[in-house]
A and B are shown apart, each in its own frame.
Chain A
């Protein structure tokens, strides 16, 4: 959970606070603008906790078109091509741009290492029952795995 503003003192209502019984860890809490309410007037199939749609009157026939607007998760949480930040488990480091990281020397060394033996071991036990053809772009027919 994120680091919260560290204001000592009394939490402002309404809030939810959680703390481990061991007293060993930092409590975490949330000060809400309002405690969630079950909203029965939001049209189906939207969540009863959908605050953006306070009344069914705004979109009376909404429920029927394949119109998902309003049922969706909040905007910024969309996965976008452009947002390719992340953490590389192979290199144990964060990266700002996925493609750039994959081309970095460190990652390429890992990619070509024997670390993938554990994957290949499992592959070697699978039964291959596809037919190969020379269709499409002439691609190297290579089922062998890994490059050493």
Chain B
């Protein structure tokens, strides 16, 4: 939840959209806070105009609507050549972003975006290192605000539309890595959805987004240097033709790997050996070594031709030098094992600690494994939390499962952890420690937990957490259902939770948000009194601890839970 770089308003900030204004309680502290913020916002807006002067003649920048580690997002209006004035979201990327990363994010938007609930791009403005991406603005809800007022039907629609977006990006070989409510914009009234923010995206092995191939972050296990910072890149990557397959993975390929900076590897330790939570929720591994290219010739050859011509920019020797230059400042274990230089693998010394509650100087002297972990802790899949080096689009499906878990339980954020292993421990309390350990074996991880905890029945868990219907929350729907005619005032009915029989079919029976003005608020249940088994079956498949068998976006759309919904 912290430090999001997204188009979404941070869940913990005051949303400033008119929709919410109606609902805002007149709270003087809030007012003060907003005014206080405003001056800061106005300054930021002025700075943005200065940094990218072209914006001045096109946009009226109204407000800052989001801020994250790698970007700030502004709301602006602009006049289109054809048509009316339009609201635009302007995403200003942090000027320390590498051009290739910026280009990759843009390419995700141009290649995959603009349909199937994936955000597209209207234009992009640049001056030097300041890049601003202009996107259509979708007014959206704050997830936390509406979580407990959504009808069950709305939840189905929400998930269905999320899978549409995920199927779309996964078809292009994009792993989003940061799927969470604030990156999936939802306009309840218009039933519009948009998956946003490709700032942390990575490509699959066969990604169709060419630039994601240059933003690799798989830290190859066979790579032996401690600081994997042997990056080279072309000065110019022309994108007119895709590089031939056999070249795309070759070592001569110009690529930007994304190893972790020292700052990230050596996160500050909090007490009790936990890493500090600062800066951990959204981190991206960094582009490594500076460019070793000498010339930049803007040519118009095919990338393939260029790649072949590219000198091998750093041979093994210089790699080693580069790796050696970067001194590791960790206080490593004072063991009598002499470490070899960073550029070679330490001797593979074994010890008897594996899968036991022991650690010794031998295993503690080994180097740490590095794997991608960008994202938000509570939404990271087990294979991410355990540093599995080959992560796939399945990590996004896990995140979608965590969102679904929030929707069904009425809790957000569902997991609350500032570090990976706390997050893993929380997952174990929901999905079971034995089950988690078993699954981790399949992707090459030994997980050990000192206490065995049983898996929860998902229905029981969600129903208990959701509790009785919250009538007060439904009042917030007034703007959706113009007036609630017969909102019951007999406070919080303690209704027995009915367990729906298996295989219940989805009859609309006038319930849910499918009609704009449903007056069916009978007992404030709106479908929650008969959540079908299919919902929990789908949840179970999304929160599959084994990424190899976890349901895909394509399969999810075909799941019986969405039986009567048309693609």
Contacts and interface: CB of A to CB of B under 8 A. Distances in A.
Contact of B348 (A23, A107, A125, A132): A23
Given A16-B421, A89-B96, A131-B79, A107 B12 contact: no
B548 interface: no
Contacts of B409: 48
A8 B96 contact: no
A127 to B, nearest CB: 8
Nearest to B365: A26
Given A23-B350, A79-B3, A137 B56 contact: yes
Nearest to B261: A87
Contacts of A9: 358-360
Contacts, number: 384
Interface in B374-419: 386-387, 409-419
Nearest to A26: B366
A66 B68 contact: no
B429 A2 contact: no
A14 to B, nearest CB: 5
B129 interface: yes
Interface residues of B, number: 147
Nearest to A21: B444
A28 B564 CA distance: 46
Contact of A91 (B144, B267, B290): B290
Given A6-B364, A22-B221, A147 B128 contact: yes
Contact of B422 (A30, A38, A45, A64): A30
Given A15-B357, A24-B221, A73-B416, A119 B450 contact: no
Taking residues whose C-beta sits less than 8 angstroms from the other chain, chain A's interface range is 35 or more
B126 interface: yes
B516 interface: no
A137 B55 CA distance: 11
Interface of B is mostly: loop
A100 interface: no
Contact of B410 (A44, A79, A83, A126): A44
Interface stretch (B162-170, B186-194, B281-289, B507-515): B281-289
A117 interface: yes
A35 B425 contact: yes
Interface string A1-17: 11111111111011111
Given A3-B331, A26-B363, A131 B424 contact: no
B355 A19 contact: yes
B67 A79 contact: yes
B54 A16 contact: no
Interface string A119-141: 11111011111111111110111
Interface in B271-315: 272-278, 280-281, 286-291, 296, 298
B529 to A, nearest CB: 17
Interface string A77-108: 11101010011111110110010011000010
B494 interface: no
B470 A5 contact: no
Interface in B409-458: 409-422, 424-426, 428-430, 440-441, 444-451, 453, 456
B324 interface: no
B242 interface: no
Nearest to A3: B330
Contact of B127 (A25, A68, A147): A147
B361 A17 contact: no
B57 interface: yes
B558 to A, nearest CB: 31
Given A6-B333, A38-B429, A130 B80 contact: yes
A63 B56 contact: no
Interface stretch (B151-159, B232-240, B517-525, B539-547): B232-240
Query: Considering the complex of A and B, which 6 residue pairs feature the smallest CB-CB distances, nearest first?
Result: A139-B56, A2-B275, A111-B129, A30-B421, A89-B98, A25-B369
Interface of B: 1-3, 12, 23-25, 40, 49, 53-54, 56-60, 67-69, 78-82, 94-103, 106-107, 110, 121-129, 131, 144-145, 147-148, 211, 221, 229, 235-239, 261-264, 266-269, 272-278, 280-281, 286-291, 296, 298, 330-331, 333, 345, 348, 350, 353-355, 357-361, 363-369, 386-387, 409-422, 424-426, 428-430, 440-441, 444-451, 453, 456, 461, 464-467, 470, 472-473
